[in-house]
Amino acid sequence: MGSVLIVDDIAGNARLVESLLAPDGHAVRTAGDGAEALRLVHAEPPDLILMDVMMPHVDGFEACQAIKRDPQTRLIPVVLVTALDDTASRIRGIEAGADDFVQKPFNGPELRARVRSLLRIKRYTDDLDSAVSVIVSLALTIEARDRTTDGHCQRLSQYASALGRKLGLDEDDIGALARGGFLHDVGKVGIPDAVLLKRGALEPDEFELMKQHTVIGDRLCGTLRSLRRVRPIVRHHHERLDGSGYPDGLRGDGIPLIAQVMGIVDVFDALTTERPYKMALPAAWAAEELRREVGFGWRRADLVDTFLGQVGC
């Protein structure tokens, strides 16, 4: 299953393709021409585009070329749908960067099989997106700047995904928590060493600067579609249920659950390891602190209790 954008100027054709793909449960959207398709692709990138070539205004070739030129959308497979069985159209399509072709009239089972296969490849490219590994390396480099947090990202990844599994979250959320462990503080790349590595308490203006790591990290991850599920963790792992957290002062259920999970395991790991400004505390003390934070109305008691049960506190 995946999200599929069908582009055709004849609404009946789009409906036909939609009905052929319906048995596989894809989330289907439609666009009436190339220009609308480009708008939709930028607003919410689909996993696959099925595009008619003969359309008014911006035709399928032009729209395909625009999608393939843009670094943010070039990995989305584009299938050109054509009634033209001539070599010239195919060559034009290949030059425009099309990943595959299907011909009208449609052969239903063949169309479904092609779509399934391209979506499978898309999932691999999402996972292998080289830019993601660059960002993960960046996150590990930041961890290396502050040697006392050694292994923090790895532990967070393990704690958070284990807690997510215990809470019965779906595989996408668990994957986001595993990645989020590495990426939650990637925005610290934009924080000067004088603040990041300061021994002792931060001045108010320094703390304001430090808070920006959530926004900077969100912006960094925002360039990559394959990191979209991690972004809520990166941006909101310092929010508190009573609205006193940052950067957006979200409250209660307005804070994404996976960000709440990361917030809990982050505090636990920060307290139980040595930092520039403090010694490592015993796990039991960290558990007490988390329970105190529940009492302040900052964290959900059930999440904290489940986590503490997992780490034997």
Taking the least distance from each CB to Fe ion, the nearer of 125 and 141 is: 141
CB 210, min distance to Fe ion, A: 9
CB 217, min distance to Fe ion, A: 8
Give the Cα separation of 58 and 158 in Å (integer): 48
Taking each helix axis from N to C terminus, what angle separates 257-272 and 171-183, rounded to the nearest 10 degrees?
40
Taking the least distance from each CB to Fe ion, the nearer of 152 and 229 is: 152
* Amino acid at position 285, single letter: W
Assigned token pair, 33:
């021409």
CB 224, min distance to Fe ion, A: 19
Edge-to-edge strands of the sheet including 48-52? 27-31, 3-7, 48-52, 78-82, 100-103
CB 249, min distance to Fe ion, A: 16
Give the Cα separation of 155 and 46 in Å (integer): 33
CB 184, min distance to Fe ion, A: 6
Which residue of the chain is nearest Fe ion when measured via CB?
A: 185
Taking the least distance from each CB to Fe ion, the nearer of 77 and 245 is: 245
In contact, 261 and 177? CB cutoff 8 Å: yes
- 51: nearest Cα among 73, 71, 72: 73
User: Which of the stretches 7-15, 23-31, 164-172, 178-186 binds Fe ion when contact is defined by CB under 5 A?
Assistant: 178-186
Taking the least distance from each CB to Fe ion, the nearer of 8 and 143 is: 143
Taking the least distance from each CB to Fe ion, the nearer of 120 and 145 is: 145
Residues constituting the chain: 313
Give the Cα separation of 126 and 123 in Å (integer): 5
Taking the least distance from each CB to Fe ion, the nearer of 185 and 269 is: 185
Longest pairwise C-alpha distance within the chain: 73
Q: Is residue 185 at the binding interface for Fe ion, with CB under 5 A as the rule? A: yes
User: Which of the stretches 73-81, 86-94, 181-189, 202-210 binds Fe ion when contact is defined by CB under 5 A?
Assistant: 181-189
Q: Is residue 269 at the binding interface for Fe ion, with CB under 5 A as the rule? A: no
In this structure, what DSSP letter does residue 3 have?
E
Give the Cα separation of 186 and 173 in Å (integer): 19
**E strands, the chain, in order:** 3-7, 27-31, 48-52, 78-82, 100-103
Q: How many residues bind Fe ion (CB under 5 A)?
A: 1
User: Which of the stretches 10-18, 159-167, 179-187, 219-227 binds Fe ion when contact is defined by CB under 5 A?
Assistant: 179-187
Q: Is residue 8 at the binding interface for Fe ion, with CB under 5 A as the rule? A: no
Interface map 153-172 toward Fe ion (x if CB under 5 A): --------------------
Sites of contact with Fe ion (CB under 5 A): 185
